[in-house]
Structures are given as C-alpha cells and as structure tokens.
Structure 1
Amino acid sequence: MPVPFPSRRSRIRNLLLILCAAIAIVACDRASTPAPQAPTIQREPFDATLSVVDNSGRVRFDAIIDTAATKTGIEQALLAAYGPNRADGFIQVDNVAREAPWLSGLPEFMKTFSTVTGAAVSFKANTVVLSGNPSPDQRRALRAAAEQAFPGLRLQGLFDLPADPESKPASLSPEALAKNLNQMPLQFKPGSGQVSDDSLALVAQAADAIRSAPAGTRLLIVGPVVATADTGNDMFLSKQRAEALKVQLILNGISPAVIDTRGWGDSADGKPVDPAAPPPVPPPGGAPMRFELVR
C-alpha cells in the first residue's frame, strides 16, 4: 500500500515545531549559564571632609564621611549649635572615606563658631582651616576653641594670629604700601587659582595694611605665573590667581573699587596691549605676583 506524502502545509508545520524546540533548548542552555560579572573596581580610601559656611546668619554645610554614625554625629553637632532652621546642606556617606579625627571635638567647637557671622571652617584629615571675615577678636576666640576641641590637629588659615594681636598697622604711604605688600610671601595651591590655606592669614594682614593707606589709594594685582609647557594655561592661571586674591581681600572688608586685576595674558607689565601685537611670553622661570599703584 503506498505511503502518502505529507502535504506542504504539514511539512511547514513540522518544520516550525522543530525550530521552536531548538530555540527552547538554546534558551534553556543560556538560562543555565550565569551572566558574566562586571569587574570590581577597587577605590582608594580618601579623607572625610566637612565645610560649614556662615553667610549673614544663614549656614550651609557639606560633607563626605565614612558611616551613618558619623553623619548622625555631625547632624547633632549642627543642630545643637544652630537649632532646626538655620543650617541646611548635604551629607554623603561613603564607606571608602576614612574616619574623621575631628568628629569628637565638633560639638564643642561649633558652639563658639555659631556665634560668628561671615566665617567659614573646613575639615579634612587632621587639618582645620578657618576663612571668611571674622574680626580679630573672633579669630582669637575661634583659635582658643579649636585648640580645646581639636588637640593635635593642624590649624590653618585665619587661625594663624599675628604675634602681637593688639598692634595696629601703621599708616603707610601708597608707595610704602605697595612695597610692603610685595614682600608678603602669598602662595597659591599648586595648579590651582585658589589662595593656599597657609596664606589666608597673610591676606588678612594685607587687608589691614590696605585700610591703613590714604583714602583714594588704588592697587593693581598682577597675577603670578609658573611657567610650564602650556603657556595658555599659565596665563589663564595668572589672571585667575589675581582674581582669587581680590576676592579674599573683599572678604576681609576691602572695597572692590580699590583693587584692579591683570594677568600675564593681558601683558607682561599688566597694561593693555595692541591686539595685533604678539602675546607676551612669561620669563622661563615664571614671575611672582605683584601689587602696583594705579596712578
């Protein structure tokens, strides 16, 4: 008896069944094979940080710390110092951060710091930096509070007090003022436009000296330049550093109208140049920052 051949429709249906079975087998194999894991990136530990800035009585804080317990400790210190409505900010917990050696003394120090308007304090590793515009008496009070709260930690910025806190700068002629300012070893953070923490106290002294000059005295700050292979960036930093120093002087009570700024990108002597002229090139060894009188 002859065997009937399957119809064309039957052959297509059988082929589809075979394909579906094969796909199901492959899917099962894939499901049983674990997905490759992304490589774990090991991060280097970094120092916990906290900054607290008072701006006319409103307080902003920012922190990156190691644990939720440290976060709670900071929040409690700020709450005790400022109450529930004066301070706001953000605290990030990152378990790669190192322990904060300043945490235990924070509540005690913040009691004094909260009485000062216009000051800022930052914490990183074993260093505490005071900046802003506290008065000389407030600086002395904050220094005493920091020494009590953070024994063994390094105090920088406006914590550095003059040898004779009662002395006042003598009245200076404009020429003598420029000469004295140019003798101050003001420094900037390497590769940055920011004034170094160690120089903040010197900026306060410079502001005192500027206030002692006759009314109408105006100064030009020509930013320093550190010569590298990237001349364009060198000149950019020169201008940026002059502007940063001006900002710090303003924070210390100097009127913006008293200070002009120039960078080596303007000209080697701080004066405007002909746009068609070739750009000035700093000396190979760089050039220090300088103050000049505006005639």
Structure 2
Amino acid sequence: MSFVENLIDQVARATGLGDNTRKFVGVLASFIFSQSDGFKGFQKLFQKAGLGGIFESWLSGSPNMRDIDGGQIQNALGERNLGAIAEKAGVPKTLIGSAIASALPLLVRSMTAGGVVPNGIPASLAGLAGNVDWGKGTIAQLRNNRKRGSLWRWILPILALLALAYCGWHMRGKSPPVGTPAAATAPVASTDGTAQSVGAPTFAFQHSGGKVDVSGTLATTAEKFQLLDALKSTFGDDRLNARLDVDASVKPASWLDRLKGMLPSLKAEGLKFAFSGDAVKLDTSALPEAERIAVSSLFQKQLPTIKVEGLFDRGVQAIKGLKAGYSATELTAALNQTTVRFDTGSANITRSSEAIIQQAADAIEGAPAGTRVEVGGHTDNQGDAASNQLLSEQRARAVADALIGAGVPSDRLAARGFGSNRPIGDNSTEAGRAANRRIAYEVLP
C-alpha cells in the first residue's frame, strides 16, 4: 500500500468520513501549504495559540504523540478557516473541528517522515483535492458575506417590529392559551455521558513466519502512534503488518505503557496474545517450555491488574496431569509448583493469579475426602523480621480466602505465616530471594 493510500485508510478509520476522506485529506494538506511560510507558517498558528508543544509531538521522531480536540483546533485555525475547509472538503461544519483533530496528527506525522519538514505540498497529496483557491476568491467571499451581513442588520429589526405589531393585533381581545409549553414538558436527553456506552480497547498480536501482525482499536491517535512506534522500534517497519483503529468511544488502554515496555521480551516466534479491555488471552502453545515459562512469568509480573488467561505454569500443568484417585501427597507436590503473585509489599493477589487460584481450588476439592491442606506464606529476609512475619501471615490468609471463594470448604484449609524462617534459596541473590517469596502447601494430619 502506497504512502498516500495508507494515510487515507488511517484517516478514514480515525474520522469516519468514508469515501469523502480522500478529498478531505487533499483540502487539509492544501490549506497547510497555503500559509505565507508553508508548513512552518501553519505550525506558527498552533504556537500562537499556545499549542506548539502538541504540534511538535506529531512530528516524525517524536516519541509520544499528544491528542488535540476540536475546540483547540478552532483556537489555532479560527472559525472562518474551519468554515472554509469544511465548505471546500464537503464536510459538515459541525464535524470539521473533530475531523481535523483526528486527521491532522496523522497527516503531519506522515509528511515529516524521516525528520524532514516539507518545503511544499507533496505531489501525491496535491492531486487529491484538485485546484483549491485559498487566495483572493476566499477573501472576496468573506467581503460578500460582510455586505450581506450588513444588509441583514438593517432588515432584521424592521421585520421584528412588523412581527410584533402583527402579533399584538392578532391577539387583541383573546385570552392567552392555557397549558404548559411543549418545550417545558418534552423530555431532555442527558448530556453528561452517563448513559453512553463505553467500548473496550483491543489489541491482538501474532508473531509468525518472521512477520508480526497486529490489529485492534484504541481510544486516541496518540495511543495508536505510541504503540506503533514501539512496535516498529522492536520488530522493524518491514516486518510489521499493523491495522489499528481509533475510536473516541473506547476507554484508554490501561495496559499500554506496560505493553510497550514488554515488547523487547516478546520476540518469540509463534507467540500470540489478545487484549480486550482489562483482560488478555495468552497463547504460548507454539513455544518451547522454557520460553513459555518466561513469557507467562513476564505477563504475570508486568500486568498485575490485568486478568491473564492461558498462563503456562508448571504447577497448573502438574495439576492437569493428576490422575483420578490422586493422593494428598501428589496433590501438594503439584500445588507447590504453582506461582501466586502479590502486589509489591502487600497481600493483594494480582488478577493474573486468579486462574491459578481456581485450578488449585479445583484440585483440592478433588482430593480424597478428609484431606486438609495448610497454606503457608514465606518471605525473603529483606526488612525486619516482624514485618516479614506479618506479611507472610497476611498472604497465607489471602490465598486461603481466595481458595474458599473459589469453592474449597473452609474446614479443609488452614493458613500459617513463616516469615523468612524457611528459605529455599540464597537470600544474597535476587533469584534466591524470589524463590523464597512463595506460597507453599502441606498436608495436615
């Protein structure tokens, strides 16, 4: 797809202008270079309106593109210019501000590719709108409008006086109508947005055959380009096939910054995942076991507030491998391979651990009748012993409560904290301390 066709496709999805997008892009590009100093003159309009920083964020190479709204566009360009653009592009005046706000960041980023500010309108864009006159014709039109406005300033008061005289004559001798005006009784739709549905941001990723395919819908153009820039930086523009839409009714992606930071560690061939709102489905089935564990651990650690489905966990695999009639000892051997994570320094179980808790609960419920399991909390030796002891007790209780919530009878569980008294790793290393921060299970007599 050519530069222009790709740009038109992106603007069409951002603005919803459909078949009229091509002309709209051409008119907007033509207006940019109609300024006395071309592109730089257009940029000065935003600088004068105090929006220079936003405009600069759209230039190619800027890491974080910032949003702009229709009101800010009007402040920078002026109502008359917006009206002229709307008329020449065939876009309703009520929509022109928001349409430019959605399209302009895309247009500026595309035209400054490679970090070069264009001296004139690219030939590929100039032909989209045909011959657009931003000079004398426009000024003459404004003058004509002023003349018509001046004429109406004389006519309207006369018409108003005639109307009042007619109404006075017509109503003479009549009683005013009884009842409430229709406007007072007509229902008024809420404008506070509470009744409007808000969509969920989505993002699907697939790495296959040396290519990375991504698709989805984000709330803003800024979010879209932040993610695209991170993807291109990680995988290369030539290996990336992206189709990302922008929809203002969609919520901001809470996971976007975390995902951008994770991308350099997500280069495994065969990896798939898909975000939908505050949940993600992970598919590591095509990866070697070591990579499955590493990727799953990364998702679980970096997305603590996101519900992660499809995590590869040795304990979960061991639980799934239990054969009918498994013993209590076999049960705890499987449970002790699971990894339950908490928010740093607290006993809050991360959302990404919910699926593991459910698997553990199902396994405990399926154990022989009378089996009782102790949930033990353990910490590393960082900090004072009393704090570690308390934290270990709180985490053990949190897991036991979560298991009860997942269906395990409370009389089959006990919770106990051990602090840092039972290390299984070397507390002088990060890997050892990570191993010591754990939940362990034992069969009670």
TM-score range for the pair, normalised by the shorter chain length: 0.3 to 0.5
**TM-score, normalised on structure 1?**
0.43
Q: Higher helix proportion, which one?
A: 2
| Alignment TM-score, normalising by the size of structure 2 | 0.29
